[in-house]
């Protein structure tokens, strides 16, 4: 097919290919920025190594108890949404509850593996499993926040409240329970109008 085309066509095709390759090369040599999200695992590395095996087992047990409570709260929110026949809220909470239950099963397996590594005195495997349990614990906190957004509870969750009381130094010392006597108002005297008769 290309043999029937003239040399002008071959020249144009060659220039087009060369120009495309040059453009590609210039595009590759330009500065490119990539957004990278850094994820740090909880209690990984040095912190995990500083905890004793008993402390790691206790922390894993606490994480499991907190995760179980989170899933139970989401199940209760789902039942509430179903009883109120709120389909949108029920669908949203059901999705978060499915993720919560799946991560809860994973957390139970990781805790069993952690306990096995503690029994076997395998520090590397123990620290790895503890780091994974920390990441799963963070996942449960995110799922709890997402479930609260489904329910709308995040609008009412203000966090821990603190009472702050300020006393005005220049406030009167009088007892507010004692009512001072109110004096009788004076009766005004209105003089009669001036008569036109003298």
Residue 105 to residue 18: CA distance in whole angstroms: 58
DSSP string, 126-192: HHHHHHHHHHHHHHHHHHHHHHHHHHTGGGT---S--------TTS--S-TTSPPPPPPPPPP--PP
List per-residue pLDDT tens for the chain, 198 residues long: 455 556 666 666 666 666 555 454 444 444 444 333 344 444 444 444 578 888 888 888 998 899 898 889 888 888 888 888 888 888 888 888 898 899 889 989 988 988 898 888 888 888 888 998 889 888 888 888 888 887 775 555 566 778 888 878 887 777 878 877 877 877 777 777 776 665
- The ranges assigned to domains in the chain are 51-153
149-172 burial, b at 16+ Cβ within 10 Å, e below that, comes to: ebbeeeeeeeeeeeeeeeeeeeee
pLDDT on residue 139? 87
**53 neighbors 126 (Cβ within 8 angstroms):** yes
pLDDT on residue 173? 77
Q: Judge if pTM exceeds 0.85.
A: no
């Amino acid at each position: 097919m290309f043999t029937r085309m003239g040399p002008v066509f071959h020249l144009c095709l060659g220039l087009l290919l060369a120009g495309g390759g040059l453009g590609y090369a210039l595009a590759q040599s330009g500065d490119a920025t990539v957004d990278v999200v850094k994820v740090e695992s909880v209690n990984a590395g040095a912190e995990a190594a500083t905890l004793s095996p008993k402390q790691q087992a206790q922390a894993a047990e606490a994480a499991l108890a907190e995760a179980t409570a989170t899933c139970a709260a989401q199940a209760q929110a789902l039942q509430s949404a179903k009883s109120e026949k709120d389909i949108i809220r029920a669908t949203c909470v059901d999705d978060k509850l499915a993720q919560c239950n799946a991560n809860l099963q994973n957390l139970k397996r990781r805790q069993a593996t952690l306990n096995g590594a503690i029994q076997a005195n395998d520090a590397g495997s123990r620290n790895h499993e503890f780091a994974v349990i920390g990441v799963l614990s963070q996942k449960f906190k995110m799922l709890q926040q997402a479930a609260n957004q489904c329910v709308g509870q995040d609008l009412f969750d203000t966090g821990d409240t603190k009472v702050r009381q300020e006393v005005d130094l220049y406030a009167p010392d009088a007892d507010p329970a004692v009512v001072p006597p109110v004096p009788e108002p004076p009766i005004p005297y209105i003089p009669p109008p001036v008569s036109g008769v003298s």
